[in-house]
């Protein structure tokens, strides 16, 4: 449902700007316009300055949440950046630790005392550092 459809069901509608209107609220006995209507992309935002809830307003015009907040197309969801599974600070702390492992392994390699288990741990450190760089993109 678009803002135009909702506006047709309201009284004393007046445009206040591009994609913005004010009207009498259908959820209470309104003598002067107290309902703000705004259309952003494919969503309709409603605010009653007298205190009516959005759900009350929607019911009064015969609409539901699904009418004003339609599902987003799949392509929009794919472009939305998702938060990393861990906070960035924790990633940096882990990276600092892994860099120390790399430094110690490099020192041991220079002294020719690098053991097989050290090489395995160095491989783990490199993998974790690579994973961290993917998280922070």
Angstrom distance (rounded) from CA 14 to CA 1: 19
Could you tell me the pLDDT band of residue 111, with boundaries at 50, 70 and 90?
A: confident
Cα angle 45, 49, 53 (rounded to 5 degrees) comes to 60
Calpha distance 85→132 (Å, rounded): 11
pLDDT at 115: 85
Do 7 and 37 meet the contact criterion of CB atoms below 8 Å apart?
A: yes
Quick one: average pLDDT of 105-132? Answer: 84
Mean pLDDT for the stretch of residues 3-14: 89
How many residues in total does the chain contain?
Answer: 137
Q: Where are the beta strands (DSSP E) in the chain?
A: 11-17, 20-24, 35-40, 43-48
Contacts 24+ apart (CB under 8 A), 42-51: 42/70, 43/68, 43/69, 43/70, 44/1, 44/2, 44/3, 44/6, 44/68, 46/6, 50/25
- Please report, rounded to a whole number, the percentage of residues in the chain having pLDDT higher than 70: 85
Confidence (pLDDT) at 105: 85
- Give the pLDDT of residue 76: 55
For the cut 80, the answer to whether the pLDDT of residue 103 exceeds it is: yes
Task: Give CA–CA dist 40/1, Å, rounded.
Answer: 13
Whether the pTM exceeds 0.75: the reply is no
Give pLDDT, residue 37. 92
- Please give the Cα distance from 102 to 113 (Å, whole number): 14
Summarize pLDDT for 47-96 with one digit per residue, the tens. 999 999 888 998 899 888 777 776 665 555 555 566 657 777 787 888 88
Average pLDDT in the chain: 82
pLDDT at 72: 61
């Amino acid at each position: 449902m678009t803002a135009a459809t909702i506006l047709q069901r309201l009284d004393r509608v007046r445009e206040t700007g591009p994609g913005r209107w004010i009207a009498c609220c259908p959820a209470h006995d309104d003598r002067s316009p107290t309902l703000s209507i705004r259309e952003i992309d494919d969503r309709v935002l409603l605010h009653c300055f007298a205190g009516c809830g959005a759900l009350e307003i929607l019911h009064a015009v015969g609409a539901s949440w699904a009418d004003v907040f339609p599902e987003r197309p799949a392509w929009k969801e794919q472009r939305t950046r998702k938060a990393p599974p861990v906070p960035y600070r924790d990633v940096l702390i882990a990276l600092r630790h892994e860099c120390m492992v790399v430094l110690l392994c490099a020192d041991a390699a220079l002294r020719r005392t690098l053991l097989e288990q050290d090489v395995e741990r160095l491989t783990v450190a490199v993998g974790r550092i690579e994973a961290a760089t993917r998280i922070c993109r």
